[in-house]
Chain A
Amino acid sequence: MSTLDTLSPMEAGRLPRNAPLFVGVAALAAGALVVVLGGSLVLGAVTAALVFIIALPLWSAVVENRRAAVDRLVTGLVWTAFAVALVPLIWLVWMVLDRGLATINPEFLTYSMRSVIGDEQGGLYHALMGTIVITLIATAISVPVGIFAAIYLIEYGKGTKMSRAITFLVDVMTGIPSIVAGLFAFAMFALILGPTRFGLAGGIALTLLMIPTVVRSTEEMLKLVPDDLREASYALGVPKWRTIAKVVLPTSVAGIVTGVVLAISRVIGETAPLLVAAGFTNNLNTNPVDGSMMTLPVFIFTQFGQATEKGYSYAWGGALVLIVIVMLLNLTARIVGKIFAPKTGR
């Protein structure tokens, strides 16, 4: 690059290939300098990011042209947006691990909070059991209803008024605020039994939140089953219901199970509806129709509400247990998806 005249038009005014790398290193250096001069780590990071976002377009504006500079500016912004989004995720996971691991011990996992006063050791066993019972109730209701509703939408009701109405209502249900679902379950039983809170009501509230997810994911999966297979089955003289039960559903089972597990992982962390419908208690209660039932999210919320060091640490411990459960469910969904996927033999 001696003079511009010796360059062909295609080579004119390009930054070197590794220009972003140079600028990146320079930005990190600037950030480090800020830290060395006594700025906080965050200030250093912000400086580095700003230098990176601004310096590269400036350089580009000088060597290349305005359009290229704008392109580089946007590229820098987009990368930064992603990097910034990682901060809360990593921070949150680290906090939960750090604080949670400090709290968790065998007693914490096997004790309830029954008659625990002051600094005595308590635990979240009652909340864990409550979460399991309530989630099982919600799953037991919403999975059959959701799957059969999806079967109706795809196999029976295509194009009918009723199916359009159901599709619309499922859309509406997706948007129900979770606390309203809780209020609904509470109001429904309050009308019959008077104001009372118990596990079943919590299960009903979660059902309302879970059904649309199950319907949607099942619907998507059933749509993926090629019509060829349905026709092949009909042509063998197989009735429609057997075709659905033995050809369509087995073909899409991987996707359906994955969708169900993900739906469970979503509702298992719901707090507000359970607070309203299932209430809270310090005691172990596994009877869903008698009295308040504790759940993990509500445990976290109430321990946080204590506003004591012990309460906070118990809340972090509960958060770790809850996140581990949610992540395990997500992992299960992925593995199930792989295992049950139709084998092509290739």
Chain B
Amino acid sequence: MATSIDVSDVHIYYGDFKAVEGVNMTVKARSVTAFIGPSGCGKSTFLRTLNRMHEVIPGARVEGKIMLQGTDMYAPEVDPVAVRRQVGMVFQRPNPFPTMSIYDNVLAGNRLNSKRMSKSEADDIVEKSLRGANLWNEVKDRLNRPGMGLSGGQQQRLCIARAIAVEPQVLLMDEPCSALDPISTAAIEDLIHELKTTYTIVIVTHNMQQAARVSDETGFFNLKAAGQPGHLVEFNSTKKMFTNPDNEATEAYISGRFG
């Protein structure tokens, strides 16, 4: 259960301000796609349009088509809530629900949508998701403790478990390791490798080594100038991007000459 995403001619606005313009790309199923680029270039903004989280911000809107399984997710009859069930998201800072235990956090997506399930079904989902997030062995003895009691890296893996518990097709990750220490980061990167056999993964990162390590394809976003909208400069296989990019700007950015 994984799917590709087709993006054609997407423009993103905050009110009158155009934040990102003219993006075209195809995110391949069961692969890891990384977005890199300098701060403020719109890569996170673009990521948030992929599950319609962008429009949570008042005044924000999107033009263009984003096809998920052959349906345009921005078509008028599509409910953003349904899109988000197909496209899960992990955020920059770990954000487990403070009122819930580890167990309830994993089930949050199901419980909050009032899905009826038996105890054994629920137990299965929790175990499967926590195993999927490489967290099961660390927390299986304290599932009823608050999720906030875990370390930062564990919290982030809990958030990943929570996201995959609703069995999405795609998993978006917005700089998932930027608030974590190197050991936790390594754990998350290993996890991403495992997850891509099941899910389509899109990750935004500031860390180019991380993009090189985890991704199959990479998109480079940049600004023409301050105040201008961001745009997609180059989208290619990670290998090519990091050895022999088509675009000069990409090469300059990757070799550390700017940004």
Nearest 5 CB-CB pairs, A to B?
A345-B149, A237-B85, A235-B89, A236-B109, A342-B98
Within the assembled complex, what's the spacing in Å between the Cα atoms of A240 and B159?
19
Within the assembled complex, what's the spacing in Å between the Cα atoms of A345 and B139?
14
Instruction: Say yes or no: is B93 at the interface (Cβ < 8 Å to chain A).
Output: yes
Q: How far is the CB of B160 from chain A (nearest CB, A)?
A: 12
Within the assembled complex, what's the spacing in Å between the Cα atoms of A16 and B149?
50
Contact of B112 among A231, A242, A251 (CB under 8 A): A242
Residue numbers in A under 8 Å from B42 (CB-CB):
none
Across the interface, name the chain A residue whose C-beta is closest to B111: A246
Across the interface, name the chain A residue whose C-beta is closest to B80: A234
A236 pairs with B162, CB closer than 8 A: yes
How many interface residues does A have (CB within 8 Å)? 26
Q: How far is the CB of A75 from chain B (nearest CB, A)?
A: 43
A237 pairs with B58, CB closer than 8 A: no
Known A231-B53, A236-B162; 15 more pairs at CB < 8 Å: A229-B97, A233-B112, A234-B53, A234-B81, A236-B108, A237-B85, A238-B112, A246-B112, A247-B112, A251-B97, A342-B146, A345-B146, A345-B147, A345-B148, A346-B148
Residue numbers in B under 8 Å from A230 (CB-CB):
56
Within the assembled complex, what's the spacing in Å between the Cα atoms of A232 and B162?
10
Q: How far is the CB of A276 from chain B (nearest CB, A)?
A: 43
Instruction: Say yes or no: is B145 at the interface (Cβ < 8 Å to chain A).
Output: yes
Instruction: Say yes or no: is B88 at the interface (Cβ < 8 Å to chain A).
Output: yes
Which bucket holds chain B's interface residue count? 20 to 34
| Bitwise interface map of B from 136 to 167 toward A, beta carbon under 8 Å scored 1, else 0 | 00000000011111000000000100110010
Across the interface, name the chain A residue whose C-beta is closest to B172: A235
Contact of B56 among A159, A226, A234 (CB under 8 A): A234
Across the interface, name the chain A residue whose C-beta is closest to B112: A238
Residue numbers in A under 8 Å from B4 (CB-CB):
none
Instruction: Say yes or no: is A11 at the interface (Cβ < 8 Å to chain B).
Output: no
| Bitwise interface map of B from 194 to 212 toward A, beta carbon under 8 Å scored 1, else 0 | 0000000000000000000
Contact of A236 among B98, B114, B145, B163 (CB under 8 A): B163
| A235 with B53, Cβ < 8 A, contacts A243-B112, A344-B149 known | yes
Across the interface, name the chain B residue whose C-beta is closest to A242: B112
Residue numbers in B under 8 Å from A239 (CB-CB):
81, 113
